[in-house]
Structure 1
Amino acid sequence: MHQLRGRDRRPARRAAPASASAGRAASPVELAGARVVLVGYFSAKEKRFGALMDAAAAALTARGARVEGRIVQRRGVSHGGVAKMTWPFSSRTLLGSGKVREVAAACEAADADAAVFVASLTEHQQCVLTELLGCRAVSLSEALAAG
């Protein structure tokens, strides 16, 4: 029987055997001709988030990608969010659940090949987001390094 996780009461996933995950290497990100949705996650203290998104879009376009959409989540903008600015990011998805649904809808509408996150993503976040979004989730630094 599965053990229930503390907060959400969903059954925990069983870990894949070490040999299964060790043999899997992530394929490089191919940007030439790819349709991407650009996703930014910024603190409210970051006032230049628009310029950062523009620079990221320009870098992706220079490598042959077509930026089909942009989505930004800012942390600490609302009254209650200011108190949460020092909390760590979501270890599972980086974004809130509503924003993940918004990104998934944008990826589906654009028939995106990838969702490129301006922030760095862990391997776990990449796997979870890839599953939730229906397209590959990668960080901008990884996408630019591969292109």
Structure 2
Amino acid sequence: MHQPPRRDRRPARRARPEPIRRQASRLTVMGADVVVVGYFSAKEKDFVTLMNSAATGLAVRGARVVGQIVQRRGVSDGGVQKMALPFSSRTLLSHGKVLEVAEACERADADAAVFVAALSGRQQRALTALLGCPAVSLPEILAAG
């Protein structure tokens, strides 16, 4: 027996998922213990000043900086050619440095890890899962107020 053709052969539309809210909006830095993490190439000679200004900016907003960790790229001879690239597109840092940051966050019982560099949503999710505390970027915190 012949079936009548369906009127609409288009697939059903799916409802759009809720947009993911950024970590910075959920994190209140007032009274939070934070670890500041910086990623700098060897070309950046003044990274200490950048780390200190990031710590000062967070302290002005009421955060307590309980640790600072720096990842340098291109300091060794082998890294010079890849100096502008992150160690990992997923985490920005090398695997060992991620473990070091996680250990520092756990030891200091930090509420968040604040990265001086801007993080993508994928990097924030991966780092939050690996560190055990929210990973946020400093530009988002400064933009939030």
Report the TM-score range of the alignment, normalised by the length of the smaller protein: 0.7 to 0.9
Secondary structure class of the residue paired with 1:68: strand
Deviation at 1:25, TM superposition (A): 2.2
TM-score of the two chains, using structure 2 as the length reference: 0.83
Structure of larger gyration radius: 2
Q: Which runs of 4+ in 1 moved over 6 A?
A: none
Write the distance in 2 (CA, Å) between the matches of 1:45 and 1:60.
Answer: 25
| Amino acid corresponding to residue 40 of structure 2 in structure 1 | F
Secondary structure class of the residue paired with 1:30: coil
Change (3 A) 1:81 1:110: same
Alignment RMSD (CA, Å): 1.8
Aligned to 1:118: 116
Change (3 A) 1:140 1:23: closer
Query: Where does 1:1-147 land on structure 2 (aligned, <5 Å)?
Result: 22-26=18-22, 28=25, 29-87=27-85, 90-147=88-145
Q: What runs of 5+ residues in structure 2 fail to find an aligned partner? A: 1-13
> Is the Cα–Cα contact under 8 Å of residues 86 and 92 in structure 2 kept in the other structure?
no
Matched pairs, number: 130
> Is the Cα–Cα contact under 8 Å of residues 130 and 136 in structure 1 kept in the other structure?
yes
Write the distance in 1 (CA, Å) between the matches of 2:85 and 2:121.
Answer: 20
Write the distance in 2 (CA, Å) between the matches of 1:67 and 1:115.
Answer: 10
Write the distance in 2 (CA, Å) between the matches of 1:36 and 1:143.
Answer: 12
Identity across aligned pairs (percent)? 65
Secondary structure class of the residue paired with 2:81: helix
Change (3 A) 1:87 1:141: closer
TM-score of the two chains, using structure 1 as the length reference: 0.82
Write the distance in 1 (CA, Å) between the matches of 2:88 and 2:15.
Answer: 25
